[in-house]
Amino acid sequence: MDIWKHGAFVDGWSVVHFLSGFFIALLFYTIGFSIVLTVLCTLAALVLWEVYEWILGILETPPNVAADIVLGSLGAGVALYFYFFRGETLPEWLLLTLFFSMLALSLWGFIDQYKNGYR
């Protein structure tokens, strides 16, 4: 089984979408956006990314696209739970680990897709 080939709902990219939503929301909230604006801008960024994939010719099933947006939104929800609702910050080492894990997974996925010709 190839984890990077687009699945019906979830695939190897699901973790990347979750972490992307987490860091997008964290970015918007950290620079001073209100909770509502953070949620709206994060959702817009997640949807625009799916549109960008479609423009590039990366074809996914509608349930997979919906799952990507939902998973990104869940990641945003986790970030907002800690930073807005609990008023806590996560340790820097954890944020760096998650961020570089997201980058490494993205790179692995892009290389695998290029190598195998997935679209």
- Is position 1 within any domain? no
Structural domain tally of the chain?
1
- Is position 2 within any domain? no
Nearest to 112 by CA among 10, 19, 11, 8: 11
- Is position 22 within any domain? yes
* pLDDT of 101: 94
> CB under 8 Å to 86, separation ≥6 — which residues?
none
Q: pTM for this structure?
A: 0.87
Q: Across the 119 residues of the chain, what is the mean pLDDT of every consecutive 10-residue run?
A: 58 90 96 97 97 88 92 97 92 94 91 75
Structural domain boundaries enclosing 34:
13-116
